[in-house]
Structure 1
Amino acid sequence: MGIEEDLTGRPFWRQLTRDERRWPFALAIAAMIALQLTLPERYSLGAWWVLPAVEVVVIAALMAANPGRESARTPMLRRLSLGLIAVASLGTAWSVFRLVADIAGGADTGSAAVLLGSGASIWLINVLTFAVWYWELDRGGALERAAGRDPYPDFLFPQMTTAGVAPADWRPQFADYLYLAFTNATAFSPTDTLPLSRWAKLTMMLESAISLVTAALVIAKAVNALG
């Protein structure tokens, strides 16, 4: 097993390729907004509508500036995209904090069904939050990956190490980062994709910790409520 290279000796991920589409990213944000709206208001940062409204405005601006593929990236668009993910992450962090505080403090979290529903929504929001972070930051983002500018990947996918298991022009897409976030949140460790950079390792560690705490406390509280 080794890093697959082209005829020039460069890793194949450094070759110029087609730009990625933005709609999977927008769909993930839309799913996060929908899940946020299903949560009880005490798990929302401020009024229940504030955070979703901000996210809708920002994602609409991003889609208007780049409606198709990631073909035009300016510093302003980059900051806007990162700002959108940061705002969503802030809302996720508050929801997790409030849920943990309610359970640990013995607050009324409703019936077992309500608690499990809220916990599942927060868990899924956490997965989507980290998926968009991985997609946006790996090798500088979608546009930088398409240009092949960064020689060192932050995540090493199996298709990047074994020849013949995927087309020669294979590149990670948003679905691959979503799978990475989901498996990391369920297995609490890397599965088939390895983090290489320090930020990738620390970010995956943070996601696993949030997922573990959320799942353990929600299940324990729900079992206790059922008992």
Structure 2
Amino acid sequence: MSKVRKAPAPTNRHTRRWPASLAVIVALGLQLAVPPQIMEAPRWIMPAIGAGLLIPLIWTNPFHLQRDEVWLRWIELVLVAVLVVINAVYLISLIVLLASGEQADGRVLVKAALLIWVTNVVAFALWYWEIDRGGPFARMPEHEHEEERADLLFPQMTVDLPGWERWLPGFTDYLFVAFTASTAFSPTDTMPLTARVKTLMGIQSGMALLTIAVIAARAVNVL
């Protein structure tokens, strides 16, 4: 008589907090590297604000997601919104610089475009990670949360293969979704299901397309 194969328990990769925190730190560090020709305001202001928002998140859940508080999730959403807005301001400033007709250093333009593009990927990865099915805590099977509809359809959720029965997405999965959306300017293997994620992915792809097609291309011509 054949034995019934039990579904493996989900690994703790989906509960890890440190990859998301590290991504935020990298994004805030990139703000300090933005060339001063792009933004005249002190570059340390927004990283300082972001760091202030990040401290309570790391303090309460330094490595793994253990403490679930509503106000913590709102801090996370505010932090992501700050990153996206400031990155959009940098992008607009760069476009204005190009439209002004002033002679700009090509290396400065390439550096600024690269920093904007990377920050765009990190910020939206955090956004997807925080809102999909109500956030990382709501996705944990061991926590009692009201189940929400999935915002993203991962391939692992549609296959019937041994070892993938109780798969749960981690931050790396959302980072890959954001990366592909910024390179292909459209969904690839993971499909957006809800209007809010479709809107976010449209904004992200638009910013990435504008950064690469308008700014990077112009910078190469200047070089």
Cross-structure match for 1:175? 172
Q: Which amino acid aligns with 1:21?
A: R
Q: TM-score, normalised by structure 2?
A: 0.87
Question: Structure 1 residues 35 and 42, CA, compared in 2 at 3 Å: closer, same or farther?
Answer: same
**Is 1:161 aligned to residue 155 of structure 2?**
no
1:108/1:166 CA distance change after superposition, 3 Å = farther
Q: How far is 1:74 from its partner?
A: 1.4
Q: CA separation of 1:29/1:99 partners in 2, compared to 1, >3 Å: closer, same or farther?
A: same
Judging changes above 3 Å, is the alpha-carbon distance between structure 1 residues 77 and 55 closer, same or farther for their aligned structure 2 residues? same
Q: Deviations over 1:114-147 (max 9, x none)?
A: 2111111111011111111000111111001114
Q: Aligned residue for 1:68?
A: 63
Cα separation, partners in 2 of 1:200 and 1:224, compared to 1, 3 Å:
same
Question: 1:10-63 CA deviation, whole Å, 9 max, x = no partner?
Answer: xx9xx9985612111111101101211111135458311111111112211211
Match of residue 4 from structure 1: none
Note the C-alpha offset of 1:192.
0.2
Corresponding residue for 2:199? 202
**8 Å Cα contact 1:45/1:95 also seen in 2:** no
C-alpha separation in 2, matches of 1:191 and 1:163:
20
The one-letter amino acid of 1:176's match is D
> What is the rounded CA distance, in whole Å, between the counterparts of 2:220 and 2:53 in structure 1?
40
- 1:79 matched residue in structure 2: 74
Relative distance call for 1:59 and 1:126 in structure 2 (3 A) is same
Match of 1:128 in 2: 122
Q: 1:27 aligns with which of 17, 22, 26?
A: 22
Task: Figure out how many residues of one structure are paired with residues of the other and give that number.
Answer: 213
1:119 aligned residue: 113
Deviation digits for residues 65-118 of structure 1 (CA, Å, limit 9, x no counterpart): 2223222221221221111111112211111111122123323432x2221111
CA contact (8 A) 1:131 1:177 kept: yes
Normalised TM-score (structure 1): 0.86
Q: What do you get for the CA RMSD once the two structures are aligned?
A: 2.3
> Whole-Å Cα distance in 1 between the matches of residues 39 and 17 of structure 2?
27
Classify 1:46/1:145 alpha carbon distance in 2 versus 1 (closer, same or farther; 3 Å): farther
* Structure 2, gaps ≥5 residues long: 1-5
Structure 1 portions without partners, runs of 5+: 1-6
Identity of aligned pairs, percent?
A: 38
1:168 CA displacement: 2.2
Corresponding residue to 2:186 among 185, 189, 193 = 189
